[in-house]
Structure 1
């Protein structure tokens, strides 16, 4: 097991789990493109499904948390802007759906 810690360049198991958490966030964040690609292939045109924004939000929150833990101001700033954009897009989508349902 020490080889795993050494490979990941971490000194202890707490750091190991933080790295695993960060990798999971990156997986969620990257998964959004697979979701978008599949939706576009099914629609036979470029489309951005609602799941894209959920994957973006989940990955962004996890990566933001990881960045705060790492105290990386560049990473924190980058994820902060993204989280604002993902939240805004979800708000706009739900507002449009609510308006369409009402009238």
Structure 2
């Protein structure tokens, strides 16, 4: 584990776990683009599947948590707005589905 801590420039196991969490958060956030790309290729049109918004929300919440841990006001502000937008989009999607049902 020490080699990993050295490679990531962290001084404690707590810090290491937060960096690993941050990396997983970034992978989750990046996954939304893969989901969107695959959906668009399948339909041969640019589409935004509902899964895109779930990946966005999960990744955004994870990155927001990481930003709070890091106490980075720029990162916190950027992620908090995104989390609001992703949540709102999911709310609108589900409200429309309820109306149409």
Q: What TM-score range do you get, normalising by the shorter chain? A: over 0.9
Residues 51-90 of structure 1: CA distance to partner in whole angstroms, max 9, x if unpaired? 0000000000000000000000000000000001001100
Aligned to 1:36: 36
Which segments of 5 or more consecutive residues in structure 2 lack a partner in the other structure? none
What's the counterpart of residue 53 of structure 1? 53
TM-score (norm 1): 0.96
Structure 2 match to 1:97: 97
* CA distance in 2: counterparts of 1:82 and 1:99, whole angstroms: 26
Tell me the residue number matched to 2:66. 66
TM-score where L is the length of structure 2: 0.98
Number of residue pairs matched by the alignment? 101
Aligned position for 2:15: 15
CA RMSD, Structure 1 to Structure 2 (Å): 0.6
Structure-2 separation of matches of 1:4 and 1:89: 38
- The offset of 1:3, in angstroms, is 1.9
In 2, Cα distance between equivalents of 1:71 and 1:29: 20
1-structure distance, mates of 2:83, 2:4: 32
Q: Runs (4+) of structure 1 moved beyond 6 Å?
A: none
Matches of 1:91 and 1:59, distance apart in 2 = 17
- Offset at 1:12? 1.1
Q: Where does residue 3 of structure 1 map in the other structure?
A: 3
